[in-house]
Structure formats: structure tokens, C-alpha cells
Structure 1
Amino acid sequence: MTDRIIRDIRFYELKPDNYNGQFDGILGNVYKNTSDTKHIGQRIARKLNELNFVSGIFDHVYVYFSPTLPDNEMKIQEKELDVRLKSVHYGIKPFVFNSFSESDKDKWVKETAFKVLNLLFQSDSTKTKIISEVETSIEKYKQEIAIFYKTKETKAYKIDLNYQIKPNGNPSKILLFFFDKKENVKRHGKVDLMHHEDIYWLVDTISVKDNAIILNPKKSSMADFVAEKYKTPLTIDIDTLEKIKQPLTTYKNNA
């Protein structure tokens, strides 16, 4: 299979030569990451998905912080245990990274993720253009970047669903936008998610009945497992949504 999409960008660490004790490679033992580190990669990957970015044979990118490579030098790992993985080592000394403030760490991780992506796809100008678009969008909206998920349109209404991944440390959210064509009224609202990926199981079809928007879950054992954490189907009273004046498309912060 050569038409996979990037599902996640994850960050790990390599063991320094003088490290003592057990080592699992999870970021945070040597390089002191922030609470948002893993979400940075998730936002980038999901925004790339939205723009139909095809990565090829692999669908996960692993970035390994390396204490031995020269600073800012990148090296693609030659062999992988699974063809669905692509690993890149990135040189930075632990004391350098750990000296950064929380915001500077997040900025560095974000910039590093895009450098790695540009390295992996440097021979494809179409793909590097999409990467650049996503970088611009992430830079503009930061943690509040919205990722488009699904739309439903009839003669009477249009509904757009986007989602956010842990915006500003808050729960991930479904962003719902409703346009009543008959009344020419636009509304929006939010639904908290326990995990951003829950939206893929919680929302299969969208309908409107008795002045409520109904988000019907998928029918599968995994969807049933996720739905146990929520009251399903998710039902939103349209009158509780806030009226907005701007055009609906204003709120879709695509790159």
C-alpha cells in the first residue's frame, strides 16, 4: 500500500552515552517535554490529512531527539521494524532543550516537525507546498487550529463539523456550525471530547429533528466502546447555539 496518510507525528528520545538506569525512549526522561508536545504532532498530522496529503508507504513519523548528532542535523533511520513507520533523528543536546522556556520548547518542537517533513518529502514540490500551507495555518491559529471533519447540507440547512486538539490545554472539542437557510441564521457551538479521535466514532451521520442536531455514532464494537463515555447520540438543541453574524466559511480556519 503506497497511498497512506500520516496519522501521527510522535517525539521520542535517544539515550545519552552517560545515562544510568532504565530507559524506554519515551520523551520526558532526558528531554523535559511540555504538556503540549504530543499534541503538536497530532495537530500537524490531522491538518495534513484534511488537505489530502498522502505520505506513501508509512503513516507514522517518529522524531528522535538525539544527543549525539550535531545540533540541528537530521538523519533518516535506514531500517524500520515496520514499513508503516518512518523515523528521523534530530540533533539537540539535552541541556540546550531543557534550558528553553515552555513556550520555546513548543515552538522548537513545531519547527522541528516541519523540518523533518520537508526533509522526507523534499523531492515532491506538491507535497512540500501542502506542508508549507499547514505550517502557515498552525503558525496563525496555534493550539486553536480547527481540523475539518464532516459536512451535511440540504435545501433547509448546512452543518459543518470541525474539531480542535487540546486547545490551550482545554479538552478537545467538536466545533459545530449551523446555517438555517430558511431563516438565514447562522449559529455555532462546541461539544467537549475526552479525546479528539473520539469524533471518528461518535459522528457517522448527521441529522436534524425537532429543532435539534443529532450526531449518530458509527456501528462497530469500537464505536460502542467509545460511546460508553458519552450520552449518544450526541444531541444539540439548535436554540442553545450562539448566533453569529459572519459568513459560515469565516470559521473554517483552513490553511
Structure 2
Amino acid sequence: MNAIAGTPSSASKLRLLRDIRYFEFDGMPAPQGPAPDYLGALFPSPAGASSLGLRLACKAEELGISIGQASHLYLCFTRAIAPGAVEACNYQYRNERWAQFVLVGLPHHYAGLDDQQRLTALLDASCAALHWLAPTRLAEISTLRRGILEHGDALRVRIHTKPGKLYHICIEHTVATHPAPSSLYVRIKASATGAETEFKLAELGRPDDARALVGRVAIRDGVLIIHPKPSWRASLDAAPYNTPLTVDLRQSGARQTE
């Protein structure tokens, strides 16, 4: 097996996953050769493939799954290896360690599947690649796969929790299939009674906007206040929204999740 830059054996700081994307190549990519193309010419790309990859990566980040120094996992499908196999890919994107390519073999009957079956094949290939790169995280990868299969677009990704004397706050978002909007939610559990209420905070232009919108969380005079992150990049992503996001905990008639 070839050594892979950015795998967990590296002494550098490990990163959590932020994105998974799907590529293809006719043969075996060379280190300085042409770049793999996005999935679609050699192997049909099902509707929702890019959203599936991002949903997988967001949930993997929540579960603490790391493949090493790379935060972006790029699966390169090829007929040059056996169906179901995962192997090292010699091509490296501009020698950047944040992007990790791996070769994956799709089933021979992939082209004859319908879109939903192809998405399941991409899910299985993604989980196989994750297990190959992070063999000690099988339990988390199994949880990830099960969550995708059970909940699909409705899968929640937890990005913030805040326990408190009066309330326990949990903020989550979905990764919808484009062009449907993803959503940002807050669940509020009363510490004394255990009663829980859920509110829809915003529809997201991009799922990644959730990270920018949720920074410091506080309760002032019965109002939950969710401040955006203070960084320059976050300020750009949060600009289209009415921030800070707020929920009036004193009003029982506040708009709840539909």
C-alpha cells in the first residue's frame, strides 16, 4: 500500500472532515498527470450526489471522524481497481494536504441502477473509504451510515450545545438536497421539568452558513440570543441573515418547528 500524505499516521495535527466529493478517472491517475473529473461522464452522477457528500462530511465532523491532515475527502471512481476496493491515489491536488484523493471501485452494475440506488452505492463507497482511512472509527462510521439511511435529508447535524441551570440548548442543522433549503434549528430543554421545545431559526442559503451563524450563545432577560461568529469570513456568510438570531423563551406562542 502506498503511503498517503495526510493520513492519521502523520505527526501533524489531525483535522475533522468538512467535505466529501465524487470524481472519476479512466485508468490510474498519475502524480503530475491530469486531474480527475467530477463524477458524471464515465459513471452516472445521481441527483443529490454533492448534497450527500456534504451531509456525510458534516455528520462525520460532528462524530469526530478524522482522516488525518485532510479536511476534504475526494473519492475517485475508476474501473482500474476491483469493485468495492479502496486504494491509495497517487494524484494530489496541488500538493495541498487539506485535500485527500482515494481510488474507489464501483459495482459493475452501477450504471444500471436508479438514482436512489446509485446514492446508496455512493454512501457505501464513502463509508468504505472512511473506514480504510480511519480504521479505528468503525463504530462512528456505522452510526453515520445508519443515520443517512434512516433520515436522509432530514438528518440533523449538531453544531452547538450549551447546558445551563435553567435550559439545555442544542443547535442543529440539516443538509438538504439542492435546490431545497437547509434549515437551522434550536432545541430548548427545561432543566427542571425536562420539557423540550424546538424552533426553526432560519432557512439556510448554504448548509455551511450554519457554522457562521452560531457563535456565542446567551440568555438575557428570557431571550435566547445566538450571535454569529466574529471572524471576517463568518461575517460575510452571515451577512444575508438577520443576526443575532433570537428566541423569546417567555412567549409560549413563539413559532415552533412545523
Class of the TM-score when normalised by the shorter of the 2 chains: 0.7 to 0.9
Q: Scaled by the length of structure 1, what TM-score is found?
A: 0.80
Which blocks of at least 5 consecutive residues in structure 2 are unaligned? 1-11, 29-34
The C-alpha deviation readout for 1:184-218, integer Å capped at 9, x for no partner, is 64211222111111111111112234544221112
Q: Which runs of 5+ in 1 are unaligned?
A: 18-22, 244-255
Q: Of 102, 108, 112, which residue of structure 1 is paired with 2:115?
A: 102
Q: Say whether residues 1:139 and 2:149 are aligned partners.
A: yes
Q: Identify if the C-alpha distance between structure 1 residues 100 and 206 changes in structure 2 by more than 3 Å, giving closer, same or farther.
A: same
Name 2:31's counterpart in structure 1.
none
Change (3 A) 1:234 1:33: same
Q: What is the match of residue 89 of structure 1?
A: 103
Shift of 1:73: 3.2
Structure 2 residue 70 is the aligned partner of structure 1 residue 58: yes
Residue in 2 aligned with 1:121?
134
How far does residue 108 in structure 1 lie from its aligned partner after superposition? 0.7
Q: Bigger CA drift: 133-142 or 220-229?
A: 133-142
1:151 aligns with 2:151: no
Deviation >6 Å, runs of 4+ = none
Secondary structure at 1:214 match in 2: strand
Amino acid across the alignment from 2:126: A
In the aligned structure 1, how far is the partner of 2:74 from the partner of 2:194? 47
Amino acid at match of 1:147: V
User: Which residue identity is paired with 2:209?
Assistant: D
Match of 1:202 among 199, 205, 213: 213
Which residue of 125, 133, 138 corresponds with 1:112?
125
Normalized per residue, the structure richer in helix is 1
User: Which residue is equivalent to 2:9?
Assistant: none
Counterpart secondary structure, 2:188: strand
Identity score, percent: 22
Distance 2:194 2:18 in 1: 37
CA-to-partner distance for each residue in 1:1-44, whole Å, 9 max, x for gaps? 23221222110111479xxxxx9712233433123111222222
Q: In the comparison of the two structures, how many residue pairs are matched?
A: 236
**1:110-135, Cα deviation, whole Å (9 max, x unpaired):** 0111111122233xxx3223222222
